[in-house]
Amino acid sequence: MTENWNTRTKLVHGGIRRSQYNEVAEAIFLTQGFVYNTAEQAEARFLETGPDEFIYARYGNPTVAMFEERIALLEGAEDAFATASGMAAVNGAVTSMLKAGDHVVSAKALFGSCLYILEEILTRYGVEVTFVDGTDLDQWKAAIREDTKAVFFETVSNPTLEVIDLKAVADLAHAVGALVVVDNVFATPVYSKALENGADVIVYSTTKHIDGQGRCLGGVILGSKEFIRGTVEPYMKHTGGSMSPFNAWVMLKGLETIDLRVRAQSASAQAIAEALVGHDKLARVIYPGLEGHAQHAIAIEQMGQGGTVLSLDLKGGQEAAFRFLNALQIAVISNNLGDAKSIVTHPATTTHQRLPEEQKVHLGITPGLVRFSVGIEDTGDLIADVKQALDAV
């Protein structure tokens, strides 16, 4: 029944577990443990856990389970495991399945902490990692070997918004039996077609569009029931990266409105990008929804539209970028994204400050680059604000 609902219905009603009080809004089960009626029942619980039988909040909790069920319905995945942050999800997804001697191929344009896990942590435990330029299929072809266990990449990279051809990389990975693990934050679960394009494991930082109002950290790993319950859950429940019930409740309520928010944000992002193309203060307008974007066709095939984030490269480098940021009156300067509020970031001096200069150049993180996460404010107001701020540069 639930599986046949359309997306917006699933997002409002999916996964509901009502208590004996029959509350309308989902309850926050802010409890660490669960009382057993008898010693025998406690013993039985520890022997075999059924889906509704909770033992301890690190293993599972009714509010967290509601969130997991609802996000799995949205993505069309068999199962999901909710985590304390997006990074706990990335770490859990890759670390739970790998062991010393395994080989992984990863795109090199990664969120800083993702790069740290692939480059520093996995290699410390004897996993071999080969990095490739994610948009170059020949490099994937050359790097994937008979013994490759997994490939990892962000389907849309941050902050330069390169789109990786998921279907093509998945075909190469599956030919050797490797699992395809994607960080799908920029695609968002609303526009994700990751499963049908060949991803085996999908990771989100729920801190972004799923909360959508800048309140809590969270993450989620989606995949087959066998992978989530057999591989991810044992690792996560014993290493302590589970999502808190309160944060799960915030994320659950975020899912209720995510379709409305993300569609509005994405339409605004497209309109802003179109309004800015060719502006004389800008060297580049980077947005996958623009026909001039190098992977525009892949973006449309994979997501149907260009997403909620665009990047602007100002002529005049850092000085011009800073003047632009400081002149904006609606968008706030911060480093989150996917929020109801528009947020601007200067990656070269903040999120990517520590990258060596040549790597910034290589990744296209120029001194004039500004990342613009489009919120749910009025589109006309946002365009007017960006234009007056560009005039002030």
Chain positions contacting ligand PLP, by CB under 6 A: 85-87, 90, 111, 113-114, 154, 158, 183, 185, 205, 207-208, 217, 219
User: How many other CB atoms are there within 10 angstroms of residue 124's CB atom?
Assistant: 8
Residue with tokens 């095939």: 301
Specify the residue, 111 or 152, whose C-beta has the smaller distance to ligand PLP.
111
Q: Strand order in 282-286's β-sheet?
A: 282-286, 309-314, 369-373, 343-345, 332-333
Residue with tokens 């260009």: 306
Specify the residue, 11 or 251, whose C-beta has the smaller distance to ligand PLP.
251
Reported in sequence order, the residue ranges of the chain that DSSP labels E, i.e. its strands, are 79-83, 103-107, 128-132, 148-154, 179-183, 201-205, 219-223, 282-286, 309-314, 332-333, 343-345, 369-373
Nearest approach, Cβ of residue 90 and ligand PLP (Å): 6
Specify the residue, 158 or 266, whose C-beta has the smaller distance to ligand PLP.
158
Specify the residue, 69 or 154, whose C-beta has the smaller distance to ligand PLP.
154
Q: Phi-psi bin for 136: left (phi > 0), alpha (psi -120 to 50), beta?
A: beta
3-state secondary structure of 187: coil
Nearest approach, Cβ of residue 274 and ligand PLP (Å): 24
User: Residue 285 corresponds to which tokens in the numbers above?
Assistant: 């307008």
Nearest approach, Cβ of residue 156 and ligand PLP (Å): 8
Specify the residue, 206 or 379, whose C-beta has the smaller distance to ligand PLP.
206
Specify the residue, 54 or 204, whose C-beta has the smaller distance to ligand PLP.
204
DSSP 6-56: -HHHHHHHTT----TT--SSPP----SB---SSHHHHHHHHH---TT---B
Phi, psi of 49 (to 5 degrees): -95, 120
Residue at shortest CB range from ligand PLP: 86
The one-letter amino acid at 41 = Q
3-state secondary structure of 167: helix
Nearest approach, Cβ of residue 103 and ligand PLP (Å): 22
Specify the residue, 186 or 227, whose C-beta has the smaller distance to ligand PLP.
186
Nearest approach, Cβ of residue 184 and ligand PLP (Å): 8
Nearest approach, Cβ of residue 19 and ligand PLP (Å): 29
Residue with tokens 């690190």: 58
User: How many other CB atoms are there within 10 angstroms of residue 199's CB atom?
Assistant: 28
d(CA 347, CA 335): 9
Nearest approach, Cβ of residue 116 and ligand PLP (Å): 11
Nearest approach, Cβ of residue 302 and ligand PLP (Å): 16
Specify the residue, 208 or 261, whose C-beta has the smaller distance to ligand PLP.
208
